[in-house]
Structure 1
Amino acid sequence: MLQITLIAGARPNFMKIAPLIHAIHDLQNSGHAIKYRLVHTGQHYDHKMSGDFFEQLEIPDPDANLGAGGGSQAEQTAAIMIGFEKELTANRPDVVLVVGDVTSTLACSITAKKLLVPVVHVEGGIRSGDMGMPEEINRIVTDSITDHFFTTSELANDNLKKVGVEDHRIHFVGNTMIDTLLKQKPRFQRPKGGVFDGLDKGDYFVLTLHRPANVDEEAKLKATIEAILAGTGSHPVLFPVHPRTAKILKNLGIKHPRLHYLEPLSYLAFNYLVQHAKGVITDSGGITEEASVMNVPCLTLRDNTERPETIHQGTNELVGTDPDRLKPFLEKILAGDWKQYQGIPMWDGHAAERIVKVLYEIYH
């Protein structure tokens, strides 16, 4: 019997884990001896992550919640490691699977390896080259102790080979986040009430901001929002506000008839808005992947990206963090003069099936 422990620490992690759970269930139903245990570290507390959240993704509630939210980076890392050590001691698996690049990914990888449990990393090998990002440190440290890597791009494969990872440990499988997107797309739900009732498809922009470079300085955030409003013509701008950003926005008091602050939305509602947007403006990596596959123009307010395939083959452009650079990109979107999605290899909705098949072959 192959026993896998799946780790998730933040909301996007569950979108990456969900198709793996579905693929494991499919193997179980075909008579294979495989089981999993889903561990939520509690790294990000999100009131939207209720039973409805797991129901939307069609996965069960986690088997364990380590409750390690809050505190500094060091405090959170320590709390996750202490909690996960107890979890592994009580429920030792054959392999621990981590996804992405959050603190939980790093902390659980270290804990598992010190207990001599193999670690596999889904989304291994991606790099931004920016050591000022906590996520970049998490990726590098996790990959330095990972046993097998499941990658989303050829560039990720190359990054791993450059640091001496052998070919047989690298598995180019695609993107489980896109597995979830393609599976759930028919179930996307238009939000009800308020601004949503008057929205026309293709007539609004979606904005998300949460990275320190964009939101920590009040003057910079104000200039960014003003540049977006100046460049989006007569179109509404829908802004689901991250808790980190909400505190700073409250001090700024920016109001505009076309700017609509929203509470965080469910997965199905948010992606409905992205799917039908005129354009997306974001500093999130995952949203650039989803927007690209849905062929929606996307502007990334960052100076670098660990997902260059969304630029070369997707609909994403790297604008930078200077608000003055937004205008020509927004003009192109308004003119309808934007590049089209070219298709990204292996982003076909079957990455999780490939991952679980490889895991079964290696560890069963």
Structure 2
Amino acid sequence: MLGIALGTAAYLGVRTARDLRQEFERELRRLREIETLYADIQAVRAENQQMKKLLEEYRPLLQSAVQQSQEFDQQMRAAVQRIDEAVETTQQNSNDLLQANDELNLKNYDEAYRLARRVHGRSPENVQALYLMGWLETQYMPDQLEAGIEKLRQAMTLAEENPLFKAAYGTALRRQASHQRGKAQRDLLQQAEGYLRVALGENDYLLDLNRESYWGPVGSILRDRENLGGAIEAYQAAQKVTPSSSYPAINLALLYLQQARAKDGKTGQRKFRDALEAFERVVACAKAELYFIPKDYYPIMDMAQAEAILGLEDKSRLRESQKWLESAIEIAKEQRSGGEVLRAAQRAWEHLRAYLPEADAEPVRAHVENAIQRLLAAQDAVEAAAKGG
């Protein structure tokens, strides 16, 4: 029994030692695993620290990038808004300018001017608005002549490549010259002709906003300089551009009448027949224009002058002349530039008087004299109304 007990104890002792060893080995392996895991954790922690350090270093850059992105987004939104506003403004300007052109064609100058001013208010450097306003101010608003000239100068400067604005500026200078005398007038006329000829050299078919040839003002300048032949050539060029207009026709007829008065014998008679034919053409052109715009002042006054001269051969035409004269006067009285328009008409009738034939012209001479007096009285009425208003 004792032997069995000792053997059993020895066996148990040996097993317990083996188990302990195995347990120690397992613990050792776990410790090594823990060490490895700890080392990995330390490595990860070091990487995290490095990453954190990098993040701290790049944080200002990231913040700046975010801020720049936000600013760029704001700039893009503002740019889109500006583009939308520009498109809307362009559309509004186009609509107003198209309507202004329609009003011009109907001779509704005040409404055309209002629309052009609205475009100018939105877009101060819109050359079409500057041109339209400047042209109307120099042609129909005597108190705005200087302002109109400045607008046309701006348009010419902003669009140097467009000959239309040079021609308009030259025409405005010619109108300014009509208010000057002596050297000042001569200098302005020279400048005006220069701008007009440069523009017409680029495009000799240029039309103003009344759809009249810019050769007309050239003819006026040359006539003012008493260059009769040059004036006739200029108005003939205008008539070539606008053959159905009474504007170059009446001026050519007056120049032919002046030529006839300066010639004697058969030459003078031939020139006089040429003048009468030219005045007949004035009547035909004016009637055609009045078919479309019945109350257009200029064709009506042209008709009155032409019928007066044609009264040299048919006295009944003086009644037609009187009728058209009274109609023109009434229309002029309603215009903002009525006084200046009537003064220009007075000068034209005085030219008629100066170049009437010396013989067999008494009824016509009396009619022309009466027309001049009517125009003077109408000017007084316009001035009185302006003072009273």
TM bucket (normalised to shorter chain) is: under 0.3
Q: TM-score, normalised by structure 1?
A: 0.25
Higher fraction of helix: 2
TM-score (normalised: structure 2): 0.24
Greater Rg by CA: 2
